């Protein structure tokens, strides 16, 4: 397939690995490199990059899987709404298995809740068109990559005057999570691989703060194996030359300023909130958005008069893994109390979670 298969060419991959090896000769090992995005984590394991690369490269898996950072309280709220017989709760497939305090959306479905998996918020809106007698609530999660889709859906619902559609908004802001990790004095990184699809929306420049403020070389990368190898090469090139800057490997999709129309849709519908709860990271400042008053009738929390209850999170080692301080395998629950069929922590839920990726591709 175009723009995919050519980025998976094994002989080119080998050439890049040799190039990386050459760069490494002048650098001091180990080199901890954080890939922030769960899509990168998944690609690294799926294509076995951790196996073909020299061991001096140490991948540190960051908190960039929106499913993994979804707090228990958000799942509880979605489950409560799903139990209302008037409601159809629409969610991305990844989110339905995330454990809340007393079950997941999947278990709410087993108990009779009408939970439907959708590929896009626009599909949830289509369900609302087809079922005017029901209330359709879309559980909106994700970073800035996903926010434009939710925003455009709300704008479309408004244009059509669709009265039975609303959104449980749990979108989060990438920069806040990156800052939370980088501010931790225990986290020491030689380089950062920045998320290519968030950058597609916000622009490569949105990540310039990492080299500038935290003095860590950063490369925006695509998601195919050759993308990641090339990004790594650019990163090592910076280190070898003693540079600390922002490079953009994913030029076929990412422009310096991003996608202005998508940014405009986000700004029109959402506004930032003071702080938001992240599973594993706690409350982070300037890390969430809510639906603006002007579109308040599409906000499920306002519409149903419900608010999330704070729930005690069981102290799990997940937060350590999220910040790259603990390897998944080192968690005492890994593969015992916690495995993909029965996830205890959220990092085991989505295939982009560090623990699930380890479990699946390392055969341990």
Partner 1 sequence: MCLGVPGKIVAITDPERQLGAVDIGGVRREVNLSCVLEEGERLQDLIGEWVVVHVGVALSRIDQEAALWLDALPE
Which chain residues interact with partner 1 by CB under 8 A? 1-4, 6-7, 12, 15-16, 19, 37-39, 64-67, 92, 94, 119-123, 141-143, 145-146, 148-149, 152, 156, 195-198, 200-201, 223, 226-227, 230, 233, 237, 251-255, 259, 261-262, 265, 350, 352
CA angle, 156 then 161 then 132, to 5°: 105
Q: Which residue has the tokens 């901890």?
A: 32
Return the residues of window 337-356 that contact ligand SF4 according to CB under 6 A.
338, 344-345, 347-348, 355
Residue closer to partner 1 by CB (options 164, 350) is 350
- Separation CA 223–CA 40 (nearest Å): 6
Q: Binding partner of residue 113 among ligand SF4, partner 1, none, CB under 5 to 8 Å per kind?
A: none
Return the residues of window 310-339 that contact ligand SF4 according to CB under 6 A.
316-318, 321, 328, 331, 333-334, 338
* DSSP run (H or E) holding 15: helix 10-24
Q: Binding partner of residue 240 among partner 1, ligand SF4, none, CB under 5 to 8 Å per kind?
A: none
Residue closer to partner 1 by CB (options 252, 294) is 252
- CB of 357 closer than 8 Å to CB of 329: no
Residue closer to partner 1 by CB (options 15, 110) is 15
Residue closer to partner 1 by CB (options 149, 208) is 149
Kindly state the smallest distance separating residue 330's Cβ from partner 1, in Å.
25
HSE at residue 173, side-chain half, CA atoms within 13 A, is 24
- Separation CA 55–CA 30 (nearest Å): 8
Tell me if 281 contacts ligand SF4 by CB under 6 A: no
Kindly state the smallest distance separating residue 295's Cβ from partner 1, in Å.
17
Q: Which residue has the tokens 């090469």?
A: 233
Q: Name the residue number minimizing CB distance to ligand SF4.
A: 345
Task: Enter the DSSP assignment of 255.
Answer: -
- Separation CA 284–CA 278 (nearest Å): 7
- Separation CA 232–CA 335 (nearest Å): 30
Residue 165, SS3 per DSSP:
strand
- CB of 250 closer than 8 Å to CB of 145: no
Burial class (CB in 10 A: 0-12, 13-18, 19+), 51: exposed
Residue closer to partner 1 by CB (options 190, 201) is 201
Q: Binding partner of residue 345 among ligand SF4, partner 1, none, CB under 5 to 8 Å per kind?
A: ligand SF4
Q: Binding partner of residue 276 among ligand SF4, partner 1, none, CB under 5 to 8 Å per kind?
A: none
Residue closer to partner 1 by CB (options 107, 253) is 253
Q: Binding partner of residue 185 among partner 1, ligand SF4, none, CB under 5 to 8 Å per kind?
A: none
Q: Binding partner of residue 347 among partner 1, ligand SF4, none, CB under 5 to 8 Å per kind?
A: ligand SF4
Kindly state the smallest distance separating residue 347's Cβ from ligand SF4, in Å.
4
CA 83 → CA 43, 89, 109, 113, 271, distances in Å? 36, 9, 8, 5, 29
Question: How far apart are the two ends of the chain, measured CA to CA in Å?
Answer: 32
Q: Binding partner of residue 295 among partner 1, ligand SF4, none, CB under 5 to 8 Å per kind?
A: none
- Please tell me the count of residues contacting ligand SF4 according to CB under 6 A: 14
3-state secondary structure 284-298: EEEEEEEECHHHHHH
- Separation CA 49–CA 14 (nearest Å): 11
Name the site residues for ligand SF4 (rule: CB under 6 A).
316-318, 321, 328, 331, 333-334, 338, 344-345, 347-348, 355
């Amino acid at each position: 397939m175009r723009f995919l298969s050519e980025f998976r060419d094994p002989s080119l991959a080998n050439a890049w690995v040799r190039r990386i090896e050459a760069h490494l000769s002048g650098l001091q090992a180990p080199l901890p490199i954080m890939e922030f995005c769960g899509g990168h984590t998944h690609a690294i394991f799926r294509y076995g990059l951790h196996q073909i690369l020299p061991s001096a490269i140490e991948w540190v898996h960051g908190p960039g899987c929106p499913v993994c950072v979804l707090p228990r309280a958000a799942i509880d709220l979605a489950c409560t709404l799903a139990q209302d017989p008037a409601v159809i709760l629409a969610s991305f497939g990844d989110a339905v298995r995330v454990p809340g305090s007393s079950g997941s959306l999947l278990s709410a479905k087993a108990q009779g809740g009408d939970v439907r998996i959708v590929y896009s918020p626009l599909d949830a809106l289509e369900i609302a068109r087809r079922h005017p007698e029901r209330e359709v609530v879309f559980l909106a999660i994700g970073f800035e990559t996903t926010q434009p889709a939710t925003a455009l859906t709300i704008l479309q619902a408004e244009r059509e005057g669709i009265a039975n559609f609303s959104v449980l908004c749990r979108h989060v802001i990438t920069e806040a999570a990156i800052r939370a990790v980088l501010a931790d004095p225990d986290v020491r990184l030689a380089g950062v691989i920045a998320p290519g699809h968030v950058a597609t929306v916000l622009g490569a420049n949105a990540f310039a703060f990492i080299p500038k403020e935290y003095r860590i070389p950063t490369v925006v990368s695509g998601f195919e194996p050759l993308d990641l190898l090339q990004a790594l090469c650019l990163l090592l090139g910076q280190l070898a030359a003693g540079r600390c800057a922002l490079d953009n490997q994913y030029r076929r999709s990412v422009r310096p300023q991003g996608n202005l129309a998508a940014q405009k849709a986000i700004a029109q519908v959402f506004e930032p909130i003071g702080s938001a709860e992240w599973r594993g990271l706690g409350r982070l400042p300037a890390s969430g958005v809510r639906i603006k008053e002007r579109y308040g009738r599409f906000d499920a929390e306002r519409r149903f008069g419900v608010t999330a209850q704070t729930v005690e999170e069981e102290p799990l080692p997940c937060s350590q893994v999220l910040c790259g301080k603990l390897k998944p395998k080192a968690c005492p629950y890994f593969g015992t109390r916690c495995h993909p069929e029965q996830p205890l922590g959220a990092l085991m839920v989505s295939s982009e979670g560090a623990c699930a990726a380890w479990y699946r591709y390392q055969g341990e």
